[in-house]
């Protein structure tokens, strides 16, 4: 009976063996939270005439490695604390379903951090060593999200930390290493992306609400309750698009940035997919759609900045 449940979960999640085991461990649907901020920050700099392609690539790879390593720490520490089992949804399943040794996952995460640090050294040497200090702080918080005595993931502050660090800070760094300065406009421009990244975590916590509550977590979704959390998610989407419109009116974003409102279609889809759902498997499509909303918005914003550079 136990093994049949295992097969059912693997089939329902369409989990395959081989290379896909390691691909799932990265949790690729979450990597939008690392790709989009680097892309947007770099395009903000490009819009003002600054672009070093090598720094862009180094920043992009380092950011994605830190995000992937954070996902691995999450998987490792949740397993160590007994929070994950063979039927858990929303994890890579590499340890509990595929039999990969926990230490292997931990060592791989540390290796990713090591490579990111080397890339960070290159970026810092080319721009400013303050970037190294900020990067180390981001990595520390990536570890503390599920590691350490008081994991951020157990508190209502996860969305705030992830939105600020992965959104505002990464956009700021991506801009700074190109332009060698930081402005209030760049910080304001980061707000919608920060909100969308926070929304990714909130949708994840809505899906995991029941399991998290059983394991003593106090996430924002648990404090609000499922129905209100979905309402708050909708409010986050509305706020992000409202701020975008304000940034366009203020001239911080070009007029072309109105194309980002195409992402509102996917945002509405997220809320519709959550409504009336109570089982984690049922909410997986909504979780994936939240990541796609961030991707659509961020890519279209970057494109609008790129296009307006040549047209204006």
Q: How far apart are CA 48 and CA 14, in angstroms?
A: 44
Q: Is the pLDDT of residue 7 over 50?
A: no
- In Å, how far from its chain's centre is CA 298? 12
Q: Is the pLDDT of residue 201 over 60?
A: yes
pLDDT at 177: 96
Q: Is the pLDDT of residue 92 over 70?
A: no
Residues 6+ positions from 272 with CB-CB distance below 8 Å: none
pLDDT in tens, 279-296: 888 998 999 999 999 999
Q: Is the pLDDT of residue 154 over 70?
A: yes
**Token couple for 135:** 């990067």
pLDDT at 1: 39
**Average pLDDT of the residues in 48-58:** 96
pLDDT in tens, 235-268: 999 999 999 999 999 999 999 999 999 999 999 9
Who wins on pLDDT, 216 or 163?
Answer: 163
Q: Is the pLDDT of residue 213 over 70?
A: yes
Q: Is the pLDDT of residue 13 over 70?
A: no
pLDDT at 118: 96
Residues 6+ positions from 223 with CB-CB distance below 8 Å: 156
For residues 304 and 312, the answer to whether their CB atoms sit within 8 Å is no
Q: Is the pLDDT of residue 4 over 60?
A: no
Q: Is the pLDDT of residue 83 over 50?
A: yes
Q: Is the pLDDT of residue 22 over 90?
A: no
pLDDT in tens, 165-178: 999 999 999 999 99
Give the pLDDT band of residue 2 (cuts 50, 70, 90). Answer: very low
pLDDT at 91: 62
Q: Which domains are assigned to the chain?
A: 2-311 (1.10.600)
- Out of 83-92, 141-150, 270-279, pick the least confident: 83-92
Who wins on pLDDT, 225 or 82?
Answer: 225
**Token couple for 68:** 């992937």
CA–CA distance from 59 to each of 53, 64, 68, 180, 217 (Å)?
10, 9, 14, 14, 33
Mean pLDDT score of the chain, rounded to an integer? 89
pLDDT in tens, 177-188: 999 999 999 999
Q: Is the pLDDT of residue 115 over 80?
A: yes
Give the pLDDT band of residue 86 (cuts 50, 70, 90). Answer: low
Angle between helices 191-207 and 263-274 (to 10 degrees): 20
Neighbours of 250 (CB within 10 A): 10
Q: How far apart are CA 50 and CA 155, in angstroms?
A: 39
pLDDT at 5: 46
Q: Percent of the chain, pLDDT > 70?
A: 90
**Average pLDDT of the residues in 55-67:** 94
Q: Is 23 helix (H, G, I), strand (E, B) or coil?
A: helix
| CA-wise closest residue to 165 among 124, 122, 203, 136 | 136
Q: How far apart are CA 109 and CA 74, in angstroms?
A: 10
Please count the residues of the chain: 312
Burial of 188 (0-12, 13-18, 19+ CB in 10 A): middle
């Amino acid at each position: 009976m136990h093994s049949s449940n295992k097969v059912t979960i693997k089939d329902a999640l369409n989990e395959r063996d081989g290379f896909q085991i390691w691909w799932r461990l990265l949790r690729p649907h979450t990597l939008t939270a690392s790709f989009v901020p680097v892309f947007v920050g770099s395009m903000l700099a490009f819009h003002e005439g600054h672009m070093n392609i090598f720094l862009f690539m180094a920043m992009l790879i380092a950011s994605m490695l830190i995000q992937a390593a954070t996902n691995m720490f999450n998987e490792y520490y949740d397993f160590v604390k007994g929070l994950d089992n063979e039927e858990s949804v929303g994890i890579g399943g590499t340890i509990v379903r595929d039999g990969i040794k926990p230490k292997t996952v931990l060592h791989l995460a540390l290796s990713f951090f090591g490579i990111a640090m080397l890339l960070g050294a290159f970026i810092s040497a080319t721009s400013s060593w303050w970037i190294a200090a900020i990067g180390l702080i981001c990595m520390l918080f990536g570890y503390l999200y599920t590691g350490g005595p008081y994991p951020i993931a157990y508190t209502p502050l996860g969305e705030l930390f992830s939105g600020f660090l992965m959104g505002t800070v990464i956009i700021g760094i991506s801009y700074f290493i190109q332009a060698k300065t930081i402005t209030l406009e760049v910080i304001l421009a980061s707000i919608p992306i920060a909100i969308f990244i926070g929304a990714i975590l909130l949708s994840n916590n809505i899906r995991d609400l029941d399991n998290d509550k059983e394991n003593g977590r106090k996430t924002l979704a648990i404090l609000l309750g499922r129905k209100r959390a979905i309402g708050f998610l909708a409010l986050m989407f509305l706020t992000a698009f409202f701020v975008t419109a304000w940034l366009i009116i203020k001239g911080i974003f070009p007029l072309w940035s109105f194309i980002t409102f195409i992402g509102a279609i996917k945002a509405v889809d997220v809320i519709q997919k959550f409504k009336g759902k109570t089982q984690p498997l049922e909410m997986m499509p909504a979780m994936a759609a939240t990541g796609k909303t961030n991707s659509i918005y961020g890519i279209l914003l970057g494109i609008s900045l790129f296009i307006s550079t040549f047209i204006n």
